[in-house]
Structure 1
Amino acid sequence: MALVGCGSAAPAISISNQQLSERVDTSDDWIRSRTGIGARRIASADEPLTELASRAARAALDHAGWAPGDLDLILLATSSPDDLFGTAPRVQGALGAMNAVAFDLTAACSGFLFALITAAQYIATGAVRRSLVIGADQLSRWLDWNDRRTCVLFGDGAAAVAVEACPVSETGLLGFRMRSDGSRYACLTLAQTDGRETLLPGVSTQKGGFAPIFMNGQEVYKFAVREVPQLLGEVLAATGTPADQVDWLLLHQANQRILDAVADRFAVPHERVLSNLAHYGNTSAATIPLMLDEAVRDGRIQPGQLLASSGFGAGLSWGAALLRWDGPRG
């Protein structure tokens, strides 16, 4: 599987730490010193996830030089769909990609990496030749904007990567690992509310609805700085790749301290750690492809370079992969 195109989309509205401090008891210094975040993009009331995901998908198609009809598969990694029955088919329809099967994959902040690995398996079997893998989330709709522990962290965005079949010797997915630990699920949740509705005398049913995002930040931080370097180390060892041969660390953009801790573990200079947290915050499944697209467009990531990547978050779930960027094949 070769990575041959990318694209992204972000809402126009940007809310700075200073603006947020007018609503909740916080400050720019407090947020930056603990997270590295300076602002976040927030979707307007008239900007659904489908629109963001479709814009990112079109940009990736254009970058790869593909027509919508070239697609065989669309995977949408999201935890905040416009429709719980699935938003990927709506993206497929918006693109006019009528030859592609489309479905959602939910794994929170690990979602994009899990979806990319899933697409690779379809390609490896020969069932799929070309796929779009989209990471998109609009968690602003599920935040308690009066809770300074969570509302300062998250933003909205979407990004996509175009992948296609290639000879094994040219693959862009050199190795990967995935993990889940449901015993720690309560550390980060967007849980169903315990609503009840009387259906008949003596018979009640659950009433649909979700509580705002809850996060035990301290536990999630400890989980990430412990588990992510270990899993990345396993991938590098399995592929026989010394850390000094990795061109870039492309990690889930959750917290700058986590990014720096992983870099220190592998003695990777901080200037080789890709980060756009300051401008976007944590966009969940969108963070990795959003950062990838930014670094490809500005020339930092060049064809043939190696990217050590990891996604981690709710579930708890985490994954790691060693990627090689190819770029458009003309």
Structure 2
Amino acid sequence: MRAAVVAGLGSWLPPRVVTNDELIARLDTTDEWIRSRIGVVTRHVIEPGAATSDLSVEAARRALRSAGVPGVGGVILATTTPDRPCPATAPEIASRLGLIDVPAFDIAAVCTGFVYGLGVGAGLITAGIADSLLVVGGDAYSTILNPQDRTTSVIFGDGAGAVVLRAGSPDEPGALGPFDLGSDGRLADLITVRAGGSRQRSSRDVVPPPGDEFFQMEGRQVFANAVARMSEASRNAVKRQGWAASEVDRVIAHQANVRILDAVSAELDVPRDRFVSNITDVGNTSAASIPLALAHGVRTGELRAGQKVLLTAFGGGLTWGATTLVWPELSLAE
């Protein structure tokens, strides 16, 4: 039997850092509110002219160096902020990495995108369609946020993370375990950018209502759904792997906000100190959230070879998902 095995990991954050002080100078909020409700102190944002592909290429290069390979057989990009509505951004990332004539495509599952990408990549590898792949989570949310909206501008940051998947055996460290994935399109309006698609066409003849070009989120309903769905998916994935929740050494959950992480910890009855978190320094980075947290865990020593790891995420769509793995021996490349 073939399995998809994590063989390399890379991450990239744009150099520019935006502090809470910079935001409260123009928004009706306070540093105490942002820290206590969201858990963010700083976030990274791209400079004008930069794009998601720039972040993703840097993260992917580091993942390839971490794996010690010059290339892979395909690229999957999870993103909500593609460089352009058409075409997909993944082919450009592949070409900039020197990967020509390989399959490359985008996945749009918002903050769940990276877990969905891992699932798709695992399916391609186990089916024998690919022997190796890059799965990238990259987002530049600063490009779709309303700078005057204090409910979203304080939460999100930009960044990218990537893993190299290779074919291997199910019993080796790094092999991705069973997936639990789901969606509920009835609640699509809870997390959305309404304008710019085929429903509200990008046209000089159709002027969208003010604000529809920006990201919007219904915070209270999102909170309740995020906790319930991440907890449910996590329990299912752990059970399918044959583990008990108490056996999980590290949880890498989507870094939505600290209160959601606290609530998921309580729901799963997994101690909060087993949750790797970097939201304080980078904010909610959407599809980049989990790979950036993985890299953070390796750097800090919280994530070590042999640990039983749970990955879980929730995002727009609504979408959610979880999977498991035993963390392999690997090093980061800067």
TM-score after normalising by structure 2 = 0.92
Partner of 1:166: 168
Aligned: 1:60 with 2:63: yes
Partner of 1:21: 24
Shift of 1:205: 7.5
Partner of 2:119: 117
Aligned: 1:100 with 2:102: yes
The alpha-carbon distance between structure 1 residues 195 and 65, as it changes in their structure 2 partners (threshold 3 A), is closer
Partner of 1:278: 280
For 1:169-184, list aligned pairs within 5 A: 169-170=171-172, 172-184=175-187
Q: 2:89 pairs with 62, 87, 100, which one?
A: 87
Shift of 1:280: 0.6
Partner of 1:241: 243
**Alpha-carbon distance in 1 for matches of 2:288, 2:316:** 14
Q: Which amino acid counterpart does residue 28 of structure 1 have in structure 2?
A: D
**Alpha-carbon distance in 2 for matches of 1:76, 1:291:** 17
For 1:247-286, list aligned pairs within 5 A: 247-286=249-288
**Alpha-carbon distance in 2 for matches of 1:290, 1:40:** 13
Q: Which amino acid counterpart does residue 57 of structure 1 have in structure 2?
A: A
The alpha-carbon distance between structure 1 residues 206 and 243, as it changes in their structure 2 partners (threshold 3 A), is same
User: Secondary structure of 2:53's match?
Assistant: helix
Q: Which has the larger displacement, 31-40 or 166-175?
A: 166-175
Shift of 1:206: 8.9
Shift of 1:257: 0.8
**Alpha-carbon distance in 2 for matches of 1:254, 1:167:** 33
The alpha-carbon distance between structure 1 residues 142 and 295, as it changes in their structure 2 partners (threshold 3 A), is same
Partner of 1:201: none
Shift of 1:127: 1.2
Shift of 1:2: 1.0
For 1:139-218, list aligned pairs within 5 A: 139-170=141-172, 172-192=175-195, 194=200, 211-218=213-220
Shift of 1:168: 2.5
User: Secondary structure of 2:111's match?
Assistant: helix
**Alpha-carbon distance in 2 for matches of 1:35, 1:14:** 17
Unpaired segments ≥5 residues, structure 1? 199-203
Q: Say if 2:170 and 2:176, in contact at 8 Å, map to a contact too.
A: no
Q: Which digits, 9 at most, give the CA deviation of each residue in 1:68-107, with x for residues without a partner?
A: 2xx1011010110112211111111111022532111111
**Alpha-carbon distance in 2 for matches of 1:47, 1:305:** 37
Q: Which amino acid counterpart does residue 215 of structure 1 have in structure 2?
A: M
User: Secondary structure of 1:261's match?
Assistant: helix
Q: 1:220 pairs with 222, 245, 270, which one?
A: 222
Q: Which amino acid counterpart does residue 260 of structure 2 have in structure 1?
A: I
The alpha-carbon distance between structure 1 residues 46 and 176, as it changes in their structure 2 partners (threshold 3 A), is same
Shift of 1:210: 6.2
Q: Which digits, 9 at most, give the CA deviation of each residue in 1:271-293, with x for residues without a partner?
A: 11111000111110000000101
Q: Which digits, 9 at most, give the CA deviation of each residue in 1:206-261, with x for residues without a partner?
A: 99x96101100000001111221122111222222111211101000001111111
Partner of 1:74: 75
Q: Which digits, 9 at most, give the CA deviation of each residue in 1:18-53, with x for residues without a partner?
A: 110001111110111111111111110032211110
The alpha-carbon distance between structure 1 residues 2 and 20, as it changes in their structure 2 partners (threshold 3 A), is same
Higher strand share: 1
Q: 1:46 pairs with 35, 41, 49, which one?
A: 49
The alpha-carbon distance between structure 1 residues 14 and 113, as it changes in their structure 2 partners (threshold 3 A), is same
Task: State the number of aligned residues.
Answer: 321
User: Secondary structure of 2:179's match?
Assistant: strand
Aligned: 1:31 with 2:48: no
**Alpha-carbon distance in 1 for matches of 2:187, 2:115:** 20
**Alpha-carbon distance in 2 for matches of 1:64, 1:326:** 11
**Alpha-carbon distance in 2 for matches of 1:152, 1:132:** 30
Q: Which amino acid counterpart does residue 321 of structure 1 have in structure 2?
A: T
Q: Say if 2:12 and 2:161, in contact at 8 Å, map to a contact too.
A: yes
**Alpha-carbon distance in 2 for matches of 1:142, 1:165:** 37
Q: Say if 1:3 and 1:324, in contact at 8 Å, map to a contact too.
A: no
Q: Which amino acid counterpart does residue 80 of structure 1 have in structure 2?
A: T
Partner of 2:327: 325
**Alpha-carbon distance in 2 for matches of 1:261, 1:169:** 32
Q: Say if 1:6 and 1:63, in contact at 8 Å, map to a contact too.
A: yes
User: Secondary structure of 1:165's match?
Assistant: strand
**Alpha-carbon distance in 1 for matches of 2:97, 2:116:** 23
**Alpha-carbon distance in 1 for matches of 2:302, 2:67:** 18
The alpha-carbon distance between structure 1 residues 91 and 269, as it changes in their structure 2 partners (threshold 3 A), is same
Q: Which has the larger displacement, 229-238 or 244-253?
A: 229-238
Q: Percent identity?
A: 37
Shift of 1:195: 5.5
